[in-house]
A and B are shown apart, each in its own frame.
Chain A
Amino acid sequence: MQFYQHIANRWKQLESIAPLVTFRILFGSLMFFTTCRFWWNGWIERLYVNPEFFFHYPGFEWVTHPGDLGIYALFAVMLVSSIGVTTGAFFRFSAFAFATSFAYVELIDSTHYLNHHYLVFLLAILLGVSPANRWFSLDVKMGRVAQQSQVPGYFRRVILAQLCLVYFFAGLAKVNPDWLFRAMPLAIWLPEHAHWPIVGTAFNWKATAFLFSWVGVLYDLTIPLWLTLKKTRPYAYLVVIVFHGMTGLLFNIGIFPILMTLSTVLFFSPESHRIAWNLIGVRLAKVSGGLGSNQTRPHPLLLAFLVFQLVFPLRHLALPGNVIATEEGYRWSWRVMLVEKSGLVSYQVKTSDNRDFVIDEFPELTSFQVKQMAIQPDMMLQYARHLEKLHAGNQPCEIMARANHVINGRTSFEVADPSMNLLQYKSTAFIQPWVYRNRLW
């Protein structure tokens, strides 16, 4: 109880608004950059305009493709709102507009699920509910909000807590026999960089894969601690830069390294942020104020959010089978760069006019969609329903899937009973009842 009081008091304490402003500008600019990059690379067209078929997330079937113009409109909203976030113009509206349009695009096709995109969404929401526009913003300039130099600490701390959870769960997922004792999947991934000058050969050594595996899991599990402790913080941040820089060079993980490197700046004390702003000539006026006393307590929803984020990534513990094999509880749980997995899938179709045939080519899917479908049971089931529409012609029909997965240099295993009619099953958000409960290790 005393401990709780202690935490509660610390979370309510007023502190400088400077770190929130720093984060607002860094995050907003990065979102502007990433949206431009996505557009510039032609990915809007490739991922959301060209494909003829989109996979839904279970539970989000209502998110439909808004048409090609609609997609571009959503990205335009992202562009404009990210500017709004950065400059603090119509800040709350901008942040939520960004989060909404970003989430909508993500929800169109589960093929492209990315943990760091989920993180972007969460951070946009957490930033949006904070008063990060109360200083050095267009909203203040326009007189939309009063300038304010101090805010309750929980706005910053809840973002920090979220970042800690990301690291912690990413690390926890790696505490498994393949990662620790077989150096998998790094033993497969690192040799792909053996052509690097000077250090390249080392990527072919088993020892390097082990070193990277153990350093990686140590980093993920403990870096929040080192960033929190004042004494170790500067060194820890140096490690953050090196670690994420390295992973950024080695793997095709887009903005994730930049996102984490910029976000962890929040671990530095509010005072140091204030000093940093002052150093570059933006004087933080000592305006007294703060929110009214009845508002200094964190909104219960904010706490509920944290509890949810603490529990939800652990839902796989309640589901039978290994989450890496079944994929149940895999998403939204910070399993990043965790496994080398591939699959093969084909469907057997039995129609009412006694035809019995196999579909193993999927012309309406992109090759990447096929790859993702082959490793994710919920997508397999969706495609089976699509095949029903194509071939059944309103008559009863049976569709069986023959699917095999390989994980981390292991031999293949069957995903489900290939004689089972998938059409008797409904896709649910949590569990695919037709999938074998493979334990893997």
Chain B
Amino acid sequence: MRWTSICLTLWIALAVATGCGPDDNSASSCLTDFQAEPILMRYADSIILPAYTDLEEKSENLVLVSSEFNSSPTKENLERLRTGLNQIRLSWQAAAFFRFGPAETHALEEGFNLFPVNKTQVRFSAQNKRYDFSNREAYNKGLPAVEYLLFGLQKDSAALMDTLQTNASYRQYAVEVAKDMKKRVSTVLGGWESYRAEFISRTGTSAGESLSLLVNAINQQVETVKRNKVGIPSGILSLGIPNPMASEAPYSRKSVEYLHASLNQLERVYEAGGKEGLKEVIAFTETVREGKALESSIQDQIATCTQLVALLQLDMVQGVNDEKAQYTELFNELNTLVVYLKSDMPSVLCISITYVDNPSDSD
């Protein structure tokens, strides 16, 4: 009995001695009492579904204008088609943030925006009238394929017009790709009709729950921005060798514009119009990072990146050679943003994002 009391006293003393540290608010307390349902509802109804609806509209339009150009390949119709393409690409920047649920099942990302496009494969498929877009990993479809047909078949614009006018197969291919995208986004929207209820009801924080899916998907897109839209074209992630033709829209010279749109959309997704956005949820945890509220740090970091993109020259193909330092700075700031979004945000929200499972046991 004597031993017992000695042990217990010693134990309590140890606990008190090591435990009485100063209060620190770099740590959240994993609030379990915050209501996830209104947040999820907000994202579903005000952010995700409107993004898909807009994307569906724009893809319907793309089918229409590409068909018109197909039947009457005039200069005016080409311009209308190019405008339609630009509109849907801007719309895509919003929809790209939600790769889960139906979007994942129906490979929306792969159907819309795998780049760089495989030119040879597009030309080959077009000429041989092969319209099979079922292979997730084939770079012969989506927005980059249409861009290549409308901007990249020839260097000179007169020659391009000529090629498009004489080759109905290219025009037809653009129509088929547009139809494929339209079909995908409609299927995804249809899928959300039933998925919405599931999305809103899965209010937990563990892997596979809606909040975790959402945060994970946002992170995937931010990684895509960092890696595919900046890192690889600039050469920073490709052994220092610039690769501008691997950027998002090299033929239409709109890579910088879409990069800018991506970051604007990220800000929108992060705030979600105020009260029920991720930003407010983080604010709810009252977490401070290096003397500054975490939710503001994240917002400011998005703004920093956006401003840096705004300073880039519009043509990335030229820019990656002229503005090396600016691209490096942008890449570093994006990297910091990734740390905030991928490490800090899930950590203080206590969301498990199981990127990786232990292949055997833990201890």
Instruction: A359 to B232: give the CA distance in the assembly, Å.
Output: 11
Known contacts A175-B19, A358-B236, A410-B26: A404-B343 contact under CB 8 Å: yes
CA distance A351 to B352 in the complex (A): 38
Assess whether B239 is in contact with A357, with CB atoms less than 8 Å apart: yes
Which of these binds chain A: B91-99, B112-120, B201-209, B314-322? B201-209
B359 touches A114 (CB 8 A): no
* Cα-based distance from A188 to B8 in the complex (angstroms): 28
Residues of A within 8 A of B283 (CB): none
Label chain A's interface by main secondary structure.
mixed
B143 within 8 A of partner (CB): no
Please tell me which one of the listed residues B288, B290, B338, B356 contacts residue A344 in the complex, with CB atoms under 8 A apart: B338
* Contacting residues, chain A, for B339 (C-beta < 8 A): 344, 404, 412
Of the residues A194, A253, A408, contact of B362 by C-beta under 8 Å: A253
Complex: chain A residue closest to B33, CB-CB: A206
Given contacts A222-B7, A411-B26, contact A114 B21 (CB under 8 A): no
Within the complex, the shortest CB–CB distance from A118 to chain B, in Å, comes to 9
* 1/0 contact string of A176-196 vs chain B (CB within 8 Å): 111011101001100110100
- How many B residues touch the partner, as a band? 35 or more
Asked if A360 CB lies within 8 Å of chain B CBs, one says yes
Q: Is the CB of B363 within 8 A of A410?
A: no
Cα A255 to Cα B361 with chains together (Å): 8
**Contact between B32 and A206 (Cβ–Cβ < 8 Å)?**
yes
Q: How many angstroms between the C-alpha atoms of A372 and B207 in the bound complex?
A: 19
Contact of A191 among B32, B227, B357, B359 (CB under 8 A): B32
Q: Does B105 have its Cβ within 8 Å of any Cβ on chain A?
A: no
Of the candidate stretches A5-13, A22-30, A41-49, A86-94, the one touching chain B is: A41-49
A337 adjacent to B363 (CB under 8 Å): yes
Instruction: Count A-side interface residues using an 8 Å CB cutoff.
Output: 68
Which residues of chain A are within 8 angstroms of B21 by Cβ–Cβ distance? Answer: 177, 441
Q: Is A411 a contact of B18 with CB atoms below 8 Å?
A: no
Report if B124 contacts A (CB, 8 A).
no
Contact A194 B335 (CB under 8 A): no
Pair A182/B27 contact, Cβ less than 8 Å: yes
A252 to B359, CA, bound (A): 10
CB distance from B92 to the nearest CB of A (A): 24
Identity of the chain A residue whose Cβ is nearest the Cβ of B223 in the assembled complex:
A360
Q: How far is the CB of B323 from chain A (nearest CB, A)?
A: 15
A402, B335: Cβ atoms closer than 8 Å:
yes
Residues of B within 8 A of A391 (CB): 239
Q: A367 to B355, Cβ gap below 8 A?
A: yes
* B30 A367 Cβ-Cβ under 8 A: no
Q: Give the distance in Å from the alpha carbon of A164 to the alpha carbon of B21 in the complex.
A: 28
With an 8 A cutoff between CB atoms, is A268 at the interface?
A: no
A114 touches B363 (CB 8 A): yes
Query: Is there an interface contact between B204 and A114, defined as CB atoms closer than 8 Å?
Result: no
Q: Find chain B residues with CB under 8 A from A172 CB.
A: 14
Residue ranges of A at the interface with B (Cβ–Cβ < 8 Å) = 38, 41, 43, 46-47, 112, 114-116, 172, 175-178, 180-182, 184, 187-188, 191-192, 194, 204-206, 217-218, 221-222, 225, 229, 251-256, 336-337, 342-344, 346, 351, 355-361, 366-368, 370-371, 391, 402, 404-406, 408-412, 441
Extra contacts, 7 of them, besides A194-B204, A406-B347 (Cβ < 8 A), are A175-B14, A187-B350, A225-B7, A254-B362, A337-B363, A404-B343, A406-B344
Ordered by A's residue number, 18 sampled pairs between the chains whose C-beta atoms are within 8 Å are: A175-B14, A175-B18, A177-B21, A188-B350, A191-B32, A194-B206, A204-B32, A221-B7, A222-B8, A252-B361, A254-B362, A337-B362, A337-B363, A346-B335, A371-B356, A391-B239, A406-B347, A409-B28
The 5 closest A-B pairs by CB, nearest first: A254-B361, A355-B240, A192-B206, A406-B347, A357-B240
